[in-house]
Structure 1
Amino acid sequence: MKIVLDAGHGGHDPGAVANGLREKDLTIAIVKHVGKMLEEYEDVEVLYTRTDDRFLELSERAAIANKAGADFFLSVHINAGGGTGFESYVHPNANSATIAYQNVIHTEILRAIGNARDRGKKRANYAVLRETKMPALLTENLFIDNKNDASKLGSEQFLLQIAYGHVQGIAKAFGLKPKAKPHPSQKPSDGKLYRVQVGAFSNRKNAEQLAEELKKKGYPAVIV
């Protein structure tokens, strides 16, 4: 599954600016967290419209997703205008699948950030929603010009919560499965570690190969 992540604004377009924060900085931080978290799921390819502070036209952002043949497009923004809370948008002509994805992702984001006003699941003729050929969602994550919201947005922990909500929503909406985790070394109840020696080799090269295989699977391996 290909997911394109779009950090709103960038370059000479800072987006909304207030309370010592710039929208373009917050959106790129959130998007990078989302991308990193999505890498923990099977069969997910994460693409970005931007990974640094550069300006892109709205049509360019949609074109990146269309050219990649993405399965889902997510555009992340921070709101302004004196309000408070979270809202999400799909295009007015969005199909039933896109609306279903919005319902799930919107709910998970609100659950993750906690204690935020739900401003609703909305529709708008935004260019990145209109010009993308796949299901697309735009999120507005609190208000940069609201002091209470801004105090949260200035916290890296809170940005991680926002990202986590997006990821949980995407995973739930698309039925993504987490990658299998390697089994960590386990300590026995007495707190001691016990070494298990597996085989003896007259050829050091064979011993090194086994040690490397064990390390790949998360087990400590020492040649003695």
Structure 2
Amino acid sequence: MKKVWIDAGHGGKDSGGIGNGLQEKDIVLKLSLAVKKYLEAQYEGVQALLTRSSDVFLELADRTRKANAAGVDILVSIHCNAGGGTGGFESYRYTTATPGSIQLHEAIHTGIMREIGEYGVSDRGQKSANYHMVRESKMPAVLTENLFVDVATDAAKLKRQEVIDSLAIGHVHGIAKFLGLQKKKEESPVSDKVNVIVNGKEILGGKLENGVTYVPLRAISEALDAKVTWDNKTRTVTVTSK
């Protein structure tokens, strides 16, 4: 079982970036929950653990301490940008990142840009920085900055559910690629048609509804070589040999 730590940045008293009616802490929580939902629903053998699943505050040290103690395979810290930008998506690894972090970074960044490109989101690139979440994590770690809350065009996108879904799915695709996850097999739909055989003759058109098999009277008549009639008034089926 592969384990993924999803870290929704900020929370509680720490709102993160603010702009255009948005708070970073709310957007990244919504996005993190969607990543967990899609990852576990679409892929086999994976579990997503969350730093937070509600609007609570945690110190940075507590976040990495919990992730390291959980023995997860990778960590993804999810944020939104703000302050002095022109909009777009960017992602980060540590300044002296391990080969695993570099590979994870490439997979997630590529996966996200592939999903959100249709919305006109600019690619600000793959970068490195001395951020706590990627520095203190003992496993491959990446931090994503999912658009700017204080740039009007980006904020308008973040208010659209389809954009949040695309960002989440982009994260999931990158995680799955890095971990080599296999997609769950889709179950074949159960047919409501029933095969019925009377006196060695197969009756076509049988149907199962709520556990009851329904077969057309005409089909029964032909199979039995008999006359079958239905009296709606008395609700009686009569079978008469021909």
TM-score by length of 2: 0.78
Q: What is the aligned length?
A: 198
Deviation at 1:168, TM superposition (A): 0.9
Q: Is the 8 A contact 1:85 1:118 kept in 2?
A: yes
Kindly report the root-mean-square deviation, in angstroms, between the aligned alpha carbons of the 2 structures.
1.8
User: Helix, strand or coil for the counterpart of 2:90?
Assistant: strand
User: Helix, strand or coil for the counterpart of 1:168?
Assistant: helix
User: Helix, strand or coil for the counterpart of 2:5?
Assistant: strand
Cα distance between partner residues in 2 of 1:101 and 1:66: 17
- The question of 1:195 aligning with 2:215 is answered no
Deviation at 1:178, TM superposition (A): 1.1
- The question of 1:97 aligning with 2:86 is answered no
**For residue 222 of structure 1, what is the aligned residue in structure 2?**
211
User: Helix, strand or coil for the counterpart of 1:170?
Assistant: helix
Select the structure with the greater relative contact order (CA < 8 A; seq sep ≥ 6): 1
Cα distance between partner residues in 2 of 1:46 and 1:96: 22
Q: Is the 8 A contact 1:105 1:166 kept in 2?
A: yes
Cα distance between partner residues in 2 of 1:178 and 1:161: 18
Q: List aligned pairs for 1:1-224, cutoff 5 A.
A: 1-39=2-40, 40-83=42-85, 84-114=87-117, 115-186=120-191, 193-196=192-195, 222=211
User: Helix, strand or coil for the counterpart of 1:88?
Assistant: strand
- One-letter amino acid of the structure 2 residue matched with residue 124 of structure 1: A
Q: Give a deviation string over 1:176-206, Cα, whole Å, max 9, x none.
A: 10122221135xxxxxx52247xxxxxxxxx
**For residue 216 of structure 1, what is the aligned residue in structure 2?**
none
Q: Is the 8 A contact 1:9 1:24 kept in 2?
A: yes
List runs of 5+ in structure 2 lacking aligned partners.
Answer: 197-207, 214-242
- CA pair 221-4 structure 1, distance change in 2 beyond 3 A: farther
User: Helix, strand or coil for the counterpart of 1:141?
Assistant: strand
Cα distance between partner residues in 2 of 1:76 and 1:47: 13
User: Helix, strand or coil for the counterpart of 1:110?
Assistant: helix
User: Helix, strand or coil for the counterpart of 2:193?
Assistant: coil
Deviation at 1:221, TM superposition (A): 7.3
Deviation at 1:220, TM superposition (A): 8.2
Percent of aligned pairs with the same amino acid: 47
* Structure 1 ranges of 4+ moved more than 4 A: none
Deviation at 1:157, TM superposition (A): 1.4
- CA pair 220-15 structure 1, distance change in 2 beyond 3 A: farther
Deviation at 1:42, TM superposition (A): 1.0
**Structure with more strand by fraction:** 2
Cα distance between partner residues in 2 of 1:63 and 1:180: 35
Larger radius of gyration: 2
**For residue 212 of structure 1, what is the aligned residue in structure 2?**
none
List runs of 5+ in structure 1 lacking aligned partners.
Answer: 187-192, 198-218
TM-score by length of 1: 0.84
